[in-house]
Amino acid sequence: MTDVIRLALEEDLGAGDVTSRACVPESLQAGGRFIARESLIVAGLALLQELYEAPVILKRDGDACADGDVIATVTGRARTLLERERVALNFLQRLSGVATMARRFADAVAGTGCRVLDTRKTTPGLRALEKAAAAAGGVTNHRMGLFDAVLIKNNHIAAAGGVRNAIERARASGLPIEVEVRTREELREALDAGAAHLLLDNLTPAEAAQWVREIGGRAKVELSGGITLENVRAYAETGADFVSSGAITHSARAMDISFRLELE
């Protein structure tokens, strides 16, 4: 059992499920169905393997579910099924919310040639799960953390003494390097220093299109800041290679999934 599942169960169960112990015979066997109650993209199904013995999983992460679709079935002691119901639903609802939001972003930019990236704006402790859900929804995972790629932002530039200094020092890491530029001067300095991946933050689509034309393919371009479902296509149509949005993870709502207990 992974740490995140163990911690979630400990948090919910504490000394035990007093309601189920009081109301449900210890030996009673039962089954249960996880059912979508709205249209959604499902994610997090592998966690059911850790919560239940031999669950029957009827969908795959990334599958579209309609209202009423059965996602998975489980069997076992009724008490156990009830004890784990809320934890299972919390994960499925949250991760399916991320996957559903990701699919909406991916669909919004279809045909533009621009890819949507997720961000590190995730629930503490759940990043790997939420990024897997985002990928299942159809967007591209960006950095998993501070350890797997260099992203030079304004505070790094200030601390390093300028864009060129930051880029040259970062090359020693051997990792991919992306640098944020906020002014035309920083843009020229980054390009002169050989930056291969630029981050343009908080521009309007019209401004972003101008900057992309000026860059002229000399570097990959990512746009970020204020990108929503309503405007993401306008940003994607600027010619940028990537758009990133924290909303995929930090603003995804939990989807409506229910659990129905059935006595054998």
Q: Is there a catalytic annotation at residue 38?
A: no
Calculate what percentage of the chain has a pLDDT beyond 90: 99
Whole-number Å distance between alpha carbons of 100 and 207: 30
Q: What are the pLDDT digits (tens) for 76-100?
A: 999 999 999 999 999 999 999 999 9
Catalytic residue from among 37, 127, 153, 169: 153
Catalytic residue from among 69, 83, 118, 180: 180
As assigned by CATH, the class of the 3-101+252-263 domain is alpha beta
**Exposure letters 81-96 (e unless 16+ CB within 10 A, then b):** bbbbbebbbbbbbbbb
Q: Is there a catalytic annotation at residue 201?
A: yes
What average pLDDT does the structure give for the chain?
Answer: 97
**Which segments of the chain belong to CATH 3.90.1170.20?**
3-101+252-263
**Which segments of the chain belong to CATH 3.20.20.70?**
107-250
Q: Is there a catalytic annotation at residue 153?
A: yes
Q: What are the pLDDT digits (tens) for 23-78?
A: 999 999 999 999 999 999 999 999 999 999 999 999 999 999 999 999 999 999 99
Catalytic residue from among 12, 50, 63, 201: 201
Arithmetic mean of pLDDT, 233-259:
98
Q: Please report the pLDDT score of residue 264 as a whole number.
A: 73
Q: Please report the pLDDT score of residue 15 as a whole number.
A: 94
Q: Please report the pLDDT score of residue 204 as a whole number.
A: 97
Catalytic residue from among 37, 77, 86, 169: 86
* Whether the predicted pLDDT of 246 surpasses 80: yes
- The pair phi, psi for residue 243, each rounded to 5°, is -125, 145
Q: What are the pLDDT digits (tens) for 127-174?
A: 999 999 999 999 999 999 999 999 999 999 999 999 999 999 999 999
User: Among 136, 127, 96, 102, which residue's Cα sits nearest to residue 117?
Assistant: 102
CATH topology of domain 107-250: TIM Barrel (3.20.20)
Catalytic residue from among 33, 115, 121, 169: 121
Arithmetic mean of pLDDT, 218-223:
97
Q: Is there a catalytic annotation at residue 182?
A: no
The structure's pTM equals 0.95
Q: Is there a catalytic annotation at residue 3?
A: no
